């Protein structure tokens, strides 16, 4: 069973995939920065 974080990540990635360029690239970059900076 996927964890809450895994489900949230899938939802975010699905949402980003549904957005048109160039917004998609910006959203992916921002998401990448947030994930990198987030405490683990």
40, burial (CB in 10 Å: exposed 0-12, middle 13-18, buried 19+):
exposed
Quick one: CA torsion of 16, 21, 30, 2, rounded to 10 degrees?
20
Residues 4-38: b if buried by 16+ CB within 10 A, e if exposed: eeeeeeeeeeeebeeeeeeeeeeeeeeeeeeeeee
Number of domains in the chain: 1
Q: What is the pLDDT of residues 1-40, one digit of tens each?
A: 789 989 999 999 999 999 999 999 999 999 999 999 988 7
Residues 6+ apart with CB under 8 A from 17: 24
Range of the domain at 32: 4-37
Write down the pLDDT at residue 1.
72
């Amino acid at each position: 069973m996927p964890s809450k974080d895994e489900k949230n990540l899938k939802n975010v990635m699905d949402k980003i995939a549904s957005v048109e360029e160039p917004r998609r690239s910006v959203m992916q970059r921002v998401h990448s920065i947030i994930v990198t900076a987030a405490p683990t």
